[in-house]
Amino acid sequence: MTYTPATTNTNVESMTIPAQKLPISHTPDVVVVGGGATGIAAAIAAARNGASTLLIEQRGYLGGMGTAALVPAFCPYTDGEKPVIRGIGLDLLEKMKLAAGDDFLNRYKEQLDWVPIDVETLKRVYDKEVLNSGATILFHTVADQVLLDGEQISGLVISNKSGRSVVQAKLYIDASGDADLAALAGVPFQVGGEHGELQPGTMCYVVTGADKERFEQFILETGQHPQLEALVTEAQLNGDLPEGRKRISGMSWITDSIVGFNFGHIFDIDGTKAEDLTRAAIEGRQLINTQMRFLRKYVPGFEHIFLVHSGDQIGIRETRRIQGDYTLVVEDFLSMRSFEDDIARNSYFIDIHLANAGATMTIKHLPKGKSHGVPYRCMLPQGKSNLIVAGRSVSSDRPVQGSLRVMPNCFAMGEAAGVAAAIASDRSVGFREVSIPELQRKLVEQGAYLGERPGHEEADQTVVAAGAIAFEEECN
């Protein structure tokens, strides 16, 4: 099956549409655009700290890549020794475990890294926790225009089944993952690598009918790696799988028979283009069919699996990165640098997926027990005073984006953005006038982790050297 994208009408370069008089539908203190991990934490934090808050999400549920794209597990919350992602993000993880039932809780009660996602349970947990915070949710809605007054955003035009209207707030949080608001507001940004290359997308999915006991016995008897590198390579050589990554990236057992997969890549996808997302959806479903045949044929315990759910959209790893007041760079990651304005800690490894089937994937780890700071300034977009950008599109270079982009980090950055918005709303100031000591104090009081001595840690040369060695590690 070949997908042919819709062609653009080249006969008319543009057209002027009539001016519209739109109603003002909402006037919260804070509006959050995007209901993924970042936006969920931002909305909860802003509302809990006293700001009237509206969370806008394009789908009919919250969760972003964890629910819409079926990413099968949460990335690590710990640095290998202790949780560095705490606060709202850690609380939501624990609430999902409790709500998923006794079997799931008993299986994963003590686990904080790579915990499988029970998608339908997580949707309900997110709904409940956001609403309990006092925030309002507006589903099936997109913000398609930013109204500007100098450096201020004066409103958003939103579209949904009720029509078009304007949302006017004091403060705006861009939690879209793609810096959509920032781009609409004219904030400068970068995309991908030096040549515009982007990490590939992955169409994740869930199967039932697996036999965990049989699979684990196979691994034990053969010494196979659980990511099935040898079987994937064999299938590629036999023409039963396409060339590309040499292992299954993620296989998460939700029960003894239900498994979530993060397996394979769709290349040359720009997640900010509808045409690319359309092609990715079609190609992704075809690739799942190929992978299902591989699993049934090659992997003991998967002979009788049945596909129950594929992602509503392709999983996207990178798009825009804003230009902010500070750009977090790879040297900051390597030296495990702390900043005076730290609002989170990050210990997840740099994880840049291959840009094409013949490329190399780069993995770069910090030493166990170590992390670096995430400064508040990297969320402040140049040229806008009442807009903050949190999540994977913050101001960083591409290698650091490959580390910051995962859901636990997005929870932490979103929480900081929400608390900052509540402070700014209460003080009637912009995001740059927020008191950093007050913001840090509130974050710590509400359970966030900013390191043992936030803003004052210095990595010794031995540790930096260890990080530099890890930086060179590559994995095909």
Q: How does pLDDT run across 93-133, given as a tens digit for each residue?
A: 999 999 999 999 999 999 999 999 999 999 999 999 999 99
Integer CA distances (angstroms), 237 to 143, 234, 248, 283, 385, in order = 47, 5, 16, 21, 55
Element containing residue 292 per DSSP (H, E):
helix 274-298
pLDDT of residue 243: 85
pLDDT at 246: 80
R_g (Cα) of the chain, nearest Å: 22
Instruction: Give all strands (DSSP E) within 134-198, no chain letters.
Output: 136-138, 142-149, 152-160, 163-167, 171-174, 189-191
Please list the ranges in the chain whose pLDDT falls under 50. 454-476
pLDDT at 10: 54
What is residue 244's predicted lDDT score, i.e. its pLDDT? 77
Sign of the Cα pseudo-torsion (233, 403, 56, 159, in order): negative
pLDDT at residue 474, as a whole number: 34
Run of H or E including 293: helix 274-298
Buried b (16+ CB within 10 A) or exposed e, 68-107: bbbbbbbbbbbbeeebbbbbbbbbbbebbbebbeeebeeb
Tokens 């479903």 -> residue:
285
Tokens 């993060």 locate to 262
The per-residue pLDDT for 144 is 95
Classified as helix, coil or strand, 147 is strand
Phi and psi at 314, nearest 5°, equal: -65, 145
Across the strands, what pairs with 146?
Answer: 156
Supply the pLDDT for residue 455: 42
d(CA 431, CA 10): 42
What is the pLDDT, as a whole number, of residue 353? 72
Q: What is the rounded CA–CA span in Å between residue 234 and residue 228?
A: 10
pLDDT of amino acid 447: 97
Distance CA 350, CA 158 (A): 35
Under a CB-based contact definition with an 8 Å cutoff, are residues 26 and 54 in contact? yes
